[in-house]
Amino acid sequence: MNAHLEIKHLLPAWEAFRSATDIAPIRSEAHYQRMVEMLEALLDEAAGDENHPAMELVDIVGKFIEDFEAEHHPLPNVTGVQALKFLMQQHGIKQSDLHDIGSQGVVSEILAGKRELNIRQVRLLSERFGVSPATFV
- Does residue 110 lie in a domain region? yes
pTM: 0.55
- Does residue 15 lie in a domain region? no
| 24 close to 53: Cβ distance less than 8 angstroms | no
- Does residue 6 lie in a domain region? no
Q: What pLDDT was estimated at residue 75?
A: 66
- Does residue 111 lie in a domain region? yes
Residue 90's domain is classified under what CATH number? 1.10.260.40
Q: What pLDDT was estimated at residue 47?
A: 87
- Does residue 112 lie in a domain region? yes
How far apart, in whole angstroms, are the C-alpha atoms of residue 134 and residue 37?
12
Residue stretches of the chain with pLDDT short of 50: none
Domain that holds residue 112: 80-136
- Does residue 89 lie in a domain region? yes
Q: What pLDDT was estimated at residue 33?
A: 95
**Signed CA dihedral, 14, 20, 74, 62: sign only:** negative
